[in-house]
Structure 1
Amino acid sequence: MKLYKSWNDVPLILRTEDVVTLLGINRTIAVKWCKAGIIPATKKGGIWFIQKADLMKEFSHAFDIPAGRETA
């Protein structure tokens, strides 16, 4: 599990394991939410890819920073 010190450290394109860490959910839930469209994601070659901006927009209430802003 990779931990991030700030949003600047989070890659622009995430995988489900990043979402698990950032949202504090398990992998099964992350995949289920990707399939259901709760987390905007694209599946390529069996791997889900999530844009950081989309995750921040959809889950800004779960983070300490407003959507669209990154910490320094």
Structure 2
Amino acid sequence: MIVVSDALDRLFEGLPERLTVDQLAQVLGLGDRTITYRWLRDGIVPAIKLGKTWLILRDDIKEHLRSQYNVPHSTDNDGAHTNEE
């Protein structure tokens, strides 16, 4: 099983502390910059708007993605999945 931190670290490997809109779109797999700008404007992903410029911090995006990760259900002793919420 891949640990979330490891997967996110690999996804963001080599990217600068501050991301461009294009870099964010690429990491999130969004082919359309319009969608990326909409997500920024609507607060779906964290960023700071300064005038007409977006300040997108790599580590803020990583932390946000970690918090949104859907964790698999736990298993009980016999290996059966439980539906605890």
Q: TM-score normalised by the shorter chain: which range applies?
A: 0.5 to 0.7
The answer (yes or no) to whether the contact 2:40–2:46 under 8 Å persists in 1 is yes
- Unmatched 5+ stretches in structure 1: 62-72
- Unmatched 5+ stretches in structure 2: 1-9, 70-85
RCO higher in 1 or 2 (8 Å CA, sep ≥ 6)? Answer: 1
Equivalent residue, structure 2, for 1:66: none
Q: Which has the larger radius of gyration?
A: 2
Identity of aligned residues (%): 30
The answer (yes or no) to whether the contact 1:39–1:50 under 8 Å persists in 2 is no
CA drift of 1:42 comes to 1.2
User: RMSD between aligned alpha carbons?
Assistant: 1.9
What TM-score comes out, normalization by structure 2 length?
Answer: 0.57
CA drift of 1:48 comes to 1.3
Aligned residues: 57
Q: What SS does structure 2 have at the residue aligned with 1:48?
A: strand
Q: Deviations over 1:30-56 (max 9, x none)?
A: 111111111111122412121111111
